[in-house]
Amino acid sequence: MRMLQALFIVFPLACTSTTATTGGSSTSSSSGAVAEDAGLADAGPIRCDGGPCESTSLAATFGASSVTLDVAYLGLEPTDAGMFFYIEAYRGASPGCPQMNSPTPDQTLILANVPAVAGSTFTYGDGVRASLLDFNGDLFNSVVPARAAALEVVLRDVETSPASSALLVADVMITFADGGTLAGTLAATHCDSLDF
């Protein structure tokens, strides 16, 4: 959602450059069969490795309240340092790629500055940033996003070329500055509307 990107700019996350580089090449680390066309905008399960297909399941907990974000999309951000991902994960989102006129989801996680390097682990210290917006007030009652104080993103599968087939499967662990946490699997497919 470009509107969320605007919120991301209004509430800056002090983005910094990361020292990791990809050399501008695309990578893919999984030898598993593609379960569904990763270019489709349904963001359902995307890879199978002899077991259940990967899908997004990110449990966010703030105090006694907990929700699970269950769909994610990514945009591509080519830079001089290589390809980076901009990712949005949602709970209560409308089906398909986010658009300016899409209804507001219940919650949105924004991950930015994620280098597209399969088999790598990136942290807050590497320049990856995250914020969580709670539009329904299920987790916290504030229009100000919860910002990550610490995070770890373990990229298990990455594809960046062609863009229509771009995908990411990662394990995500986030601790927010105000004490909340988010953890689980992120499986995102590409949406042109999130590209930079």
pLDDT in tens, 126-138: 999 999 999 999 9
The domains of the chain are located at 2-15+29-194
Long-range contacts from 138-141, C-beta under 8 angstroms, 24+ separation: 138/65, 138/67, 138/106, 138/107, 139/60, 139/61, 139/62, 139/65, 139/66, 139/67, 139/107, 139/180, 140/62, 140/65, 140/178, 140/180
Confidence of residue 143 (pLDDT cuts 50, 70, 90): confident
pLDDT in tens, 69-94: 999 999 999 999 999 999 999 999 99
pLDDT in tens, 104-121: 999 999 999 999 999 999
pTM higher than 0.95: no
